């Protein structure tokens, strides 16, 4: 490596500044929201809260924790995420496994059926009309079924299965295992990494989803917590079912959004450091292998 | 790249014959294997595909066909495909609807701004990250910048509103410079900036993944050769690095152009309000309001179909252009 020139050293310092800025701009909102969630109402209004809570109090946390609707919706999110992810994993794994068999007659068509939907979709209204007339409205299936296969995840899994040595499967076949047996007892145990990654992809997207719930669920009690948060942000619910006193109410107005944002994001923020690299790997696999 | 080698124009969904085999399937003994043999041998595999295919037929292809309600009168509770043909009635309706042209313009604006600002952001960030020599620093910056991608759009919208509130940090900083607080969320002239800004915040870091992967595949010898030829850092970037990631750039550009019309529907829906409709209302939100909220299903379906067709035309033509000019294409 040649000695860095002066210009390059200047560039490196500038680059360091840029990266510091990127990190600061990304993280600041989170820190600020944490600080707000613990702050007093007057201090927030006066714009005094930046990186550290001012006028520390937990009133809003107490109110949100006492709000039965919040917990019910939180529970709904957990339920929807688990069920939808399970359905999605079964369908995606089955189809990816079928598509990975190069000798299969009609494979091109089967792949085409899936890939075409990446470029053209039915659109909001026909989907809405369909779900309504299938009678799925107000049930968990309106959320789980229409999103059961993400073509991107499907292609990542297919690429993984294709790269698996075929000897093992052939040996298992000779030993008398059926296709189902091979998939369950040979292929899946060897694919724990990709299965776990795909389950993560799906569960994060179901955890974060809100629009299908808004479209297809009518009852506030059935909503996931993301819709609770959305209503809070739009100001259509005060989150005041807990029967708060007036001074508590103004406290709530100032930082209840911060508290709800934090509590909704919390699970993702907690697992994020551990799962982030799997996501990156998954995306690269999908990109490189396609 | 993200798309496999198959062509996108697979016909409908029926079990049409695969493309490669010769036209006559039956009675050609030399064809690899007849359908009957394939079914006998692989019926278990095919059976695994039944549910997924049912999924695609019902939840993906049926809605595509369901678009015919754009040309048929739909009665709630009636057939999914509408009751009677009305021809282009709904198309004429939106064509003569001033609100439609307003949301059409807004869509072009937001789509264009997203393309101009959100598409290059990850490229710049990836190039800058690539110059960082300390890998711990590099990993840290990456991990942090991916973070917003993992959060729900609802949370991102919430954070955006908190940051831009009249008592929020941004206005606080403006206050230092003696500026009056700006009501970012209520003023139509701020909507585009707010939208694009939050979009960059949310997606730029995540977008670097593919570019950084592409950067690692560039041959070190090329840099060596460029240095021997006397290229400085900047020239190396310009003549070696950028051409090296060009296929990735073009693929992502085509994909971006394909989603041009469908600008972040969910985010607009969360960030806009009647005060900012003038700049924030886009085709998809208008479809949502007229269709789902006001129950004009056929009318909304017609607008939605128009949007989808433009999207399809955009992606196929940009794909065609790029295959002709630079030799990279999705299919």
Burial of B89 (C-beta count, 10 Å sphere; 0-12/13-18/19+):
middle
C-beta neighbour count of A258 within 10 angstroms: 23
- Nearest CA distance, B26 vs chain A (angstrom): 14
| Alpha-carbon span B329 to B3, nearest angstrom | 10
On the question of pLDDT at A236 being above 60, the answer is no
A282 touches chain B (CB under 8 A): no
A196 or B11: which leads in pLDDT: A196
| Alpha-carbon span B28 to B22, nearest angstrom | 9
Are A210 and B153 spatial neighbours (Cβ–Cβ below 8 Å)? yes
pLDDT for residue A143: 93
**Tokens linked to B252:** 């992502």
CA A273 to each of CA A27, A29, A90: distance values in angstroms, whole numbers, following the listed order = 14, 18, 27
Of the given ranges (B285-289, B293-297, B323-327), which has the lowest mean pLDDT?
A: B323-327
Nearest CA in chain A to B319: A119
pLDDT for residue B31: 54
pLDDT for residue B10: 38
Of the given ranges (A120-124, A198-202, B52-56), which has the lowest mean pLDDT?
A: A120-124
pLDDT for residue A52: 85
Nearest CA in chain B to A284: B210
On the question of pLDDT at A241 being above 70, the answer is no
pLDDT for residue A165: 85
- Test the A interface: residue of B81, B136, B158, B304 with most A CBs within 10 Å: B158
What average pLDDT does range B269-286 have in this prediction?
Answer: 91
Average pLDDT value for chain A: 85
Name the 3-class secondary structure at B15.
Answer: coil
Region for B6 from its dihedrals, namely left if φ exceeds 0, alpha if ψ lies in -120 to 50, beta otherwise? beta
Of the given ranges (A107-111, A232-236, B271-275, B287-291), which has the lowest mean pLDDT?
A: A232-236
Name the 3-class secondary structure at A150.
Answer: coil
> Between A and B, how many residue pairs show a Cβ–Cβ distance under 8 A?
298
Cβ-based contacts of A33 with chain B (< 8 Å): 159, 162
What average pLDDT does range A94-117 have in this prediction?
Answer: 93
pLDDT for residue B33: 67
Nearest CA in chain B to A4: B233
Contact criterion met (CB < 8 Å) for A124 and B292: yes
Of the given ranges (A124-138, B9-23, B103-117), which has the lowest mean pLDDT?
A: B9-23
pLDDT for residue A253: 66
**Tokens linked to A116:** 């075409």
pLDDT for residue B23: 47
pLDDT tens, residue by residue, A161-173: 998 888 888 888 8
A121 touches chain B (CB under 8 A): yes
Tell me the pLDDT band of B324, cut-offs 50, 70 and 90: confident
Tell me the pLDDT band of A209, cut-offs 50, 70 and 90: very high
pLDDT for residue A149: 95
pLDDT for residue B57: 96
pLDDT for residue A248: 54
A33 touches chain B (CB under 8 A): yes
pLDDT tens, residue by residue, B260-275: 777 788 999 999 988 9
| Alpha-carbon span B3 to A155, nearest angstrom | 8
pLDDT for residue A25: 93
Q: What is the 3-state secondary structure (H, E, C) of B44-112?
A: HHHHHHHHHHHHHHHHHHHHHHHHHHHCEECCCCCCCCCCEECCCHHHHHHHCCHHHHHHHHHHHHHHH
pLDDT tens, residue by residue, A9-33: 888 889 999 999 999 999 999 999 9
A135 touches chain B (CB under 8 A): no
pLDDT tens, residue by residue, A125-155: 999 999 998 999 999 999 999 999 999 999 9
- With a pLDDT cut of 90, the percent of chain B lying above it is 38
What average pLDDT does range A196-220 have in this prediction?
Answer: 91
Contact criterion met (CB < 8 Å) for B154 and A226: yes
What average pLDDT does range B51-64 have in this prediction?
Answer: 95
Average pLDDT value for chain B: 85
pLDDT for residue A251: 56
pLDDT tens, residue by residue, B226-257: 888 888 888 888 889 999 899 889 988 888 88
Of the given ranges (A91-100, A269-278, B47-56, B66-75), which has the lowest mean pLDDT?
A: A269-278
On the question of pLDDT at A121 being above 60, the answer is yes
A260 touches chain B (CB under 8 A): yes
Angle at B267 between CA B262 and CA B269, to 5 degrees: 90
- Nearest CA distance, A244 vs chain B (angstrom): 23
Contact criterion met (CB < 8 Å) for B150 and A268: yes
ipTM entry: 0.86
Contact criterion met (CB < 8 Å) for A98 and B163: no
Angle at A212 between CA B185 and CA A284, to 5 degrees: 85
Contact criterion met (CB < 8 Å) for B162 and A95: no
Among the partner-chain residues B141, B167, B213, the one whose CB lies closest to the CB of A287 is B213
Cβ-based contacts of A29 with chain B (< 8 Å): 159, 162-163
- Nearest CA distance, A116 vs chain B (angstrom): 5
CA B320 to each of CA A111, A167, B251, B328: distance values in angstroms, whole numbers, following the listed order = 22, 41, 12, 9
Burial of A98 (C-beta count, 10 Å sphere; 0-12/13-18/19+):
buried
Contact criterion met (CB < 8 Å) for B292 and A215: yes
**Tokens linked to A208:** 């974060």
Angle at A208 between CA A206 and CA A214, to 5 degrees: 85
pLDDT tens, residue by residue, B217-229: 888 888 889 888 8
Name the 3-class secondary structure at A97.
Answer: helix
On the question of pLDDT at B87 being above 80, the answer is yes
Are B86 and B73 spatial neighbours (Cβ–Cβ below 8 Å)? yes
- Test the B interface: residue of A23, A81, A124 with most B CBs within 10 Å: A124
pLDDT for residue B119: 93
pLDDT for residue A250: 54
pLDDT for residue B172: 84
pLDDT for residue A252: 60
Nearest CA in chain A to B255: A119
Q: Is the pTM of this model over 0.90?
A: no
- With a pLDDT cut of 70, the percent of chain B lying above it is 90
């Amino acid at each position: 490596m040649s000695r860095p020139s002066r210009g390059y050293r200047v560039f490196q310092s500038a680059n360091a500044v840029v990266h510091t800025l990127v990190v600061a701009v990304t993280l600041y909102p989170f820190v600020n929201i944490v600080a707000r969630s613990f702050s007093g109402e007057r201090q927030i209004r006066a714009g005094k809260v930046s990186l550290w809570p001012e006028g520390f109090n937990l009133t809003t946390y107490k109110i949100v924790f006492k709000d039965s609707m919040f917990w019910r919706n939180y529970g709904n999110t957990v339920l929807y995420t688990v069920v939808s992810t399970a359905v999605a994993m079964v369908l995606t794994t089955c189809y990816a496994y079928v598509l990975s068999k190069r000798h299969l007659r009609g494979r091109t068509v089967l792949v085409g059926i899936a890939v075409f939907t990446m470029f053209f979709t039915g659109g909001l209204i026909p989907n809405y009309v369909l779900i309504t007339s299938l009678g799925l409205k107000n049930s968990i299936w309106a959320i789980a079924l229409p999103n059961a296969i993400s073509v991107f995840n499907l292609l990542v899994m297919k690429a993984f299965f294709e790269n698996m040595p075929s000897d093992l499967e052939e040996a298992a076949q000779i030993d008398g295992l059926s296709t189902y047996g091979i998939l369950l007892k040979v292929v899946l145990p060897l694919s724990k990494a990709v299965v776990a990654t795909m389950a993560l992809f799906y569960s994060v997207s179901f955890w974060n989803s809100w629009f299908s719930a808004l479209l297809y669920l009518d009852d506030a009690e059935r909503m996931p917590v993301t819709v609770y948060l959305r209503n809070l942000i739009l100001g259509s619910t005060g989150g005041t079912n807990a029967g708060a006193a007036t001074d508590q109410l103004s406290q709530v107005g100032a930082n209840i959004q911060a508290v709800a944002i934090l509590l909704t994001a919390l699970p993702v923020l907690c697992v994020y450091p551990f799962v982030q690299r799997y996501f990156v790997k998954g995306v690269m696999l999908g990109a490189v292998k396609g | 790249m993200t798309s496999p080698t198959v062509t996108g124009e697979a016909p409908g969904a029926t079990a049409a014959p695969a493309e490669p085999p010769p036209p006559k399937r039956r009675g050609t003994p030399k064809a690899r294997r007849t359908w009957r043999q394939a079914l006998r041998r692989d019926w278990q595999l095919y059976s695994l595909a039944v549910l997924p295919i049912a999924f695609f037929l019902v939840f993906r292809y049926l809605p595509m066909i369901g678009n015919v309600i754009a040309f048929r009168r739909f009665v709630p509770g009636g057939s999914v495909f509408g009751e009677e043909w009305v021809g282009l009635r709904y198309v004429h309706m939106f064509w003569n609807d001033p609100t439609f042209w307003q949301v059409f313009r807004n869509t072009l604006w937001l789509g264009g701004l997203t393309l101009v600002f959100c598409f290059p952001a990850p490229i710049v960030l990836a190039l800058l990250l690539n110059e960082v020599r300390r890998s711990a620093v590099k990993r840290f910056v990456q991990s942090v910048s991916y973070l917003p991608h993992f959060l729900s759009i609802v949370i991102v919208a919430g954070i955006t509103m908190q940051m831009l509130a009249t008592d929020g940090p941004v206005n606080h900083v403006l206050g230092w410079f003696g500026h009056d607080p700006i009501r970012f969320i209520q003023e139509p002239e701020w909507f585009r900036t707010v939208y694009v800004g939050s979009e960059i915040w949310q997606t730029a870091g995540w977008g670097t993944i593919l570019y950084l992967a592409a950067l690692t595949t560039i041959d070190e010898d090329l840099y060596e050769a460029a240095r021997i030829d006397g290229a400085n850092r900047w020239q190396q970037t310009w003549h070696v690095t950028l051409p090296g990631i060009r296929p990735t750039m073009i693929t992502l550009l085509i994909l971006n152009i394909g989603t041009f019309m469908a600008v972040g529907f969910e985010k607009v829906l969360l960030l806009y309000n009647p005060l900012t409709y003038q700049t924030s209302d886009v085709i998809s939100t208008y479809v949502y309001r007229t269709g789902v909220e006001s129950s004009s299903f056929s009318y909304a379906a017609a607008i939605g179909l128009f949007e989808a067709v433009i999207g399809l035309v955009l992606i196929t033509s940009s794909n065609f252009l790029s295959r002709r000019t630079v030799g990279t294409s999705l299919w």
